[in-house]
Structure formats: structure tokens, C-alpha cells
Amino acid sequence: MSNVIRFIGDIHGDWETYRRDLISCDHKTLQVGDYGIFPYATGNFLKVNEDGDFYYSHEPEHQDETKPIKWFYRIDHQYVKSLSTDNEKDRFIRGNHDDPFSIKLIPGYVDDGSLVFDSIFCVGGASSIDKAFRREGVDWWRDEELSYSESLIVLQKYLKTKPDIVVSHDCPDFLTYIICPNMTRDGASSTRTLLSRMFEMYKPKLWVHGHWHISARNIIDGCEFISLGINEIFDFDVDTLK
């Protein structure tokens, strides 16, 4: 009996396509981040009423756009419920365009440095190339990447686990020069540094990632890298690695 996992590229809050086309299968699924947990992706803006209860509105509060906005670091439970899918079947990691706090409240989320479906090691986050044009707490978060200490913990878990499969939102730095050699870089990225270090110290058999919105397949030092575009799927029988 096959053990197929469906890997899904960035969806950026395209819930209709996600539910109708991408997870409507018998396979377990794992989405590679930029799931879409931030207000501009959904058209919902978090407000608070007189009783202190949080709720969503389709209209934002009037704000000085030159200042950071931090008033929706909590997420409405009814909204969470509307997004929930099968917690055991359909899983996802975080991207740089996901609120790091709110996404952890969504059923199905897989934390950084965790093993999912028994054999897949997950690392979320990335650096936003356009952060200078975004507003902190609205569509950009200072902790979009792991801290140095958090990265060390993830690396230790990785070396202890030695997984056959890695799923990350971003990819090792060297791979970016292969899949998009002419693209402008966003400077130093602690995420890509971590992922490069992981690959240097232990090479898995399969590595799936998103973030760059490019569809590509490359084999490097015996590891097959699958780069997924937006809403792209890749079905793989993990038992073939045994």
C-alpha cells in the first residue's frame, strides 16, 4: 500500500482553490507556508468592541500609515473555525507572509523543527524582500525568521532526527542561484543560512520548498530539491525512499 503525501506550494489565502482543488484528495497534505494568515490576504481587519472582544470587519480602522499597526496579533475564534480542515490530514508550516502568532492557533499548523507524518522535518519562515514597503504588525512581522537561538535548537533537532525529507518555506542559499540566478537578493537571510547549514551537515533524500514562486526540480549531492510554484502540487510516495 502506497504512502503518498501531497506537497502544496504557497497559497496566499486562496482558500477556495485550497479546499476545492488542492486538499480534496485521499492523500495527507503538507502546505509549504505563506498559508495566508494575515489580514490583507483575507480582507478582514481585526477590531475590538466595547466589551473588549475581538472581531473581524471588512473595513480597517483609520490609522496613520507611517506608524506600525499592532492591533491584530490575536485572531477571531470563529474565523479560525472557518479555516480549519482535518487536523491530522491537512497540515501546513508558516511562511514569511503569515502572522507568526496567529498561525499557531490554526488547527493543522506544524511548528519549526517538528517532524510531521513520521518522516518529514519542517522549518518555516523566510526574509521578506519587500519589508521596507510593509507595515509591522499588518503585513510584516519582525519575527518572520527564527532567532539565532531558535535556529540552533532547530539544527540540533535536525541532526538528531536525520530525516529523509525536509519541507521548508525558503530553501538553502545555494539553491536560489540555480532556480532564479537573475533575481535580486534581499541581503542576509538567517533562514537560508540555517537551511544551508542543515544541508551541509546532513543531506536528506528529498527537500521540498516554496517562497520563490518557481517550479523546478534539481538533484544536488544525491538530494532531490522540489521547488513549488503558487498553488502547485507534488504527490510523492514516501515509502519509495525506504
Phi, psi of 91 (to 5 degrees): -115, 165
Pairing outcome for strands 233-237 and 4-8: antiparallel
Q: Residue 22 to residues 98, 133, 186, 191: CA-CA distances in angstroms?
A: 19, 31, 30, 27
pLDDT interval class at 80 (50, 70, 90): low
Distance between the two ends of the chain, CA-based, in angstroms?
A: 14
C-alpha cell at 201: 551537515
d(CA 140, CA 65): 13
Residue scoring higher pLDDT (236 or 12): 236
4-37+81-241 CATH: 3.60.21.10
Which of 1-5, 17-21, 126-130, 236-240 has the highest average model confidence (pLDDT)? 236-240
Judge whether 37 and 96 are in contact, CB under 8 Å: no
- What does the DSSP assignment read for 5-40? EEEE---TT-HHHIIIIIS-SSSEEEE-S----SHH
Q: pLDDT tens for residues 108-117?
A: 899 999 999 9
Q: Average of pLDDT values for 211-235?
A: 97
d(CA 92, CA 133): 27
Q: pLDDT tens for residues 88-124?
A: 899 999 999 888 877 887 888 999 999 999 999 999 9
Q: Compute the Cα dihedral for 93, 97, 98, 101 and give only its sign.
A: positive
Name the percent of the chain lying above pLDDT 70. 77
| Residue 50: per-residue pLDDT | 52
Phi, psi of 55 (to 5 degrees): -150, 165
C-alpha cell at 225: 530539491
Q: Average of pLDDT values for 170-199?
A: 88
For the ranges 12-26, 77-91, 101-115, which has the lowest average pLDDT? 77-91
Mean pLDDT computed over every residue of the chain: 82
Q: pLDDT tens for residues 141-180?
A: 888 999 999 999 999 999 999 999 999 999 999 999 999 8
Any idea where the domains of the chain sit in the sequence?
4-37+81-241
| Residue 107: per-residue pLDDT | 80
Q: Is 169 left (phi over 0), alpha (psi -120 to 50) or beta?
A: alpha
For residue 62, pLDDT over 50 is answered with: no
d(CA 238, CA 156): 24
